[in-house]
Amino acid sequence: MKASDISSQMKASEISSQKIMDSIRPLPEAGKQEQSSAERALLPPEMEAAGLSLFMDGDALTLTDGTNTLCGDFTRMKKRLREANLRQELLVKAARIKSLQDDRKPVILDATAGLGEDSMLLAAAGHQVELYERDPVIAALLADALRRAAEDPALAEAAGRMHLHSGDSEAAMREYARRMHRETTKKSEICLQNKEDVKAEEKCAETQKRDSDQAGMNGDESADAELTAIDIIYLDPMFPGRHKSGLVGKKFQLLQQLESPCADEEELMQAALAAEPAKIIIKRPVKGPYLAGRKPSYSLMGKTVRYDCLVFPENHHV
């Protein structure tokens, strides 16, 4: 069964990452007879048909094809998350915006979260990160990794800045753009109604600026509240003929059975542009083509990957 077939069938079945998490049963303790694969988890039939299964291996939700296994794991990143090492990470450098008020860290939307390793780097550097993962199984693996990270003193602070959304980031970015447009229109109408003198105009501008400063930095759990002010959108999509950056060998072989390649890079780019962030960061193979043919403002080059940065100063949420 192809990855695209699995993905479409799972969407048709309305399978959520939470339902997957709730269906998983732990493996027996050491010394007890191992359960059969049928007893390990209540799995979607399309996953079983593809030879995939989920189970709890100790404390970690794990994906397997019967030979290879995969789970989300941030503990192996601890060395990279040290402050001195973080400053050298190209992605962390790419996420800098100098013009933000009070030196606050930009709020970032990771539209292609995967197992969340890039988002963990950004969160460890102090960013609030909204993670979107459209595949419910990968989202469940990521949610479990975040759960374990929250229990690890070395990772808990960064994990607390990461907010996972199981769903389609393109739809979320377009809805965010529509809502921001409605709010801007409403504020403009109020300003016009109250424009009695110069002081009223100045007060209106100050109100808009204060709302912008505070937006998106609250602890509200709703997606709408969290996505009030997105400064940066991060894209690391999987495309036909290309292994997603950082996913190699056996790890990639498992994930590619679930996550189909990006069907339309132009649609992804247009959704990101519609959200009007101050910057879009795109992770690409070092010699790969530009996403949707869009030339970046500048690029940061590594040995195997590069970060193309599209900058929009007029969109800064100061």
Q: 75-173+216-315: which CATH architecture?
A: 3-Layer(aba) Sandwich (3.40)
Report how far residue 182's alpha carbon sits from residue 175's, in angstroms, rounded to the nearest whole number. 11
Q: Are 122 and 96 in contact (CB under 8 A)?
A: no
Which pLDDT score is estimated for 156?
98
Closest listed residue to residue 50, CA positions, set 92, 10, 103: 10
Query: Which secondary-structure segment (H or E) carries 233?
Result: strand 232-235
Q: How many C-beta atoms surround the C-beta of residue 175 within 10 A?
A: 17
Q: Which residue has the tokens 């949420």?
A: 317
φ and ψ at 145, to 5 degrees?
Answer: -65, -40
Which pLDDT score is estimated for 158?
98
State the Cα torsion 196-200-204-205 to the nearest 10°. 110
Which pLDDT score is estimated for 314?
86
**CA 72 to chain CA centroid, nearest Å:** 14
Q: Are 209 and 101 in contact (CB under 8 A)?
A: no
Q: Are 195 and 201 in contact (CB under 8 A)?
A: yes
Determine the straight-line distance between the first and last CA of the chain, rounded to whole angstroms: 48
Which pLDDT score is estimated for 173?
96
Residues in the chain: 318
Report how far residue 149's alpha carbon sits from residue 166's, in angstroms, rounded to the nearest whole number. 18
Q: Are 226 and 220 in contact (CB under 8 A)?
A: yes
Task: Kindly list the averaged pLDDT for each block of 10 residues, start to end, along the chain of length 318.
Answer: 40 58 53 43 66 90 90 96 96 91 88 96 98 92 97 98 95 92 72 60 60 41 53 85 53 73 85 96 94 96 96 78
**CA 32 to chain CA centroid, nearest Å:** 39
Which pLDDT score is estimated for 157?
98
Q: Are 71 and 141 in contact (CB under 8 A)?
A: yes
Closest listed residue to residue 119, CA positions, set 67, 171, 167, 159: 159
Sequence ranges of the domains in the chain: 3-70, 75-173+216-315, 175-205
Which pLDDT score is estimated for 303?
95
Which pLDDT score is estimated for 191?
66
Query: Which secondary-structure segment (H or E) carries 56?
Result: strand 53-57
